[in-house]
Chain A
Amino acid sequence: DAGVIQSPRHEVTEMGQEVTLRCKPISGHNSLFWYRQTMMRGLELLIYFNNNVPIDDSGMPEDRFSAKMPNASFSTLKIQPSEPRDSAVYFCASSLAGGPNQPQHFGDGTRLSIL
């Protein structure tokens, strides 16, 4: 079975540029999560969706960040404009909705470097 697929795996861009990270969840999963991982702050939940609807975006750092889930098989996380402090590894995870006991399956992440 294909796992959670994220693209790109690596992104290097200059500050001020728009960055779009993509995620394809596991087929049949209806919860999707975006995380950011840094050395200083660890793993932070940015936003999560149930059945394509954003449930909690309180972790989104500021208005420069936005996330969409236009259908059950695709989600994007966009940063515009990007800043050096956005450099991190961004993970997408998916799970079956049905409660917090459902394990989350993680993608391999996108390593983002903003110069």
Chain B
Amino acid sequence: AQSVTQLDSQVPVFEEAPVELRCNYSSSVSVYLFWYVQYPNQGLQLLLKYLSGSTLVKGINGFEAEFNKSQTSFHLRKPSVHISDTAEYFCAVSGRSGNTPLVFGKGTRLSVIA
């Protein structure tokens, strides 16, 4: 079984400042890792995913994440945030085999302040 811990429930940051949203996972098997974003009154949208290969993954809207196997982490970063990045961000993990569904963290609310 897999589990995900998002260490910060809320992250306020000023516009144009960098941001890091932290995610740690637990799994007894190899995993795929995902970040999703949820804007108000909408469903979740995929930001990026790590399947294999390079541990630095680039996604949409200027976000990137780095897979660190030794630290079981998959932190999300953006060098300069915009007001429009204000949203809830979810880290998710799934096992690599069979029909294992996604397991989501509880989310981090990013608030970008003008």
Binding site for B on A (CB under 8 A): 4, 33, 42-43, 45, 48, 50, 55-56, 91, 93, 97, 99-101, 103-109
Question: Chain B residues near A109 (CB, 8 Å)?
Answer: 41-43
Please, how many angstroms separate the alpha-carbon atoms of A83 and B24 in the complex?
A: 35
Query: Within the assembled complex, what's the spacing in Å between the Cα atoms of A24 and B28?
Result: 34
Q: How big is chain B's contact interface, by range?
A: 20 to 34
The reply to whether B42 and A108 contact each other, CB–CB distance below 8 Å, is yes
Contact of B113 with A by CB under 8 A: no
**Cross-chain contact of B32 among A42, A55, A91, A100 (Cβ < 8 A):** A100
Name A's interface SS: strand
Among A45, A100, A108: residue with most chain B CB under 10 A: A100
Partner of A42, one of B43, B49, B106: B106
Complex partner residue of B43 from A55, A101, A106, CB under 8 angstroms: A106
- Decide if A33 touches B43 in the complex (CB within 8 Å): no
User: CB distance B105 to A42 under 8 Å?
Assistant: yes
Q: Which residue of chain A lies nearest to B106 when distances are taken between CB atoms in the complex?
A: A42
The answer to whether B99 touches A104, judged by C-beta atoms less than 8 angstroms apart, is no
B104 close to A42 (CB less than 8 A): yes
Q: Is the CB of A33 within 8 A of B34?
A: no
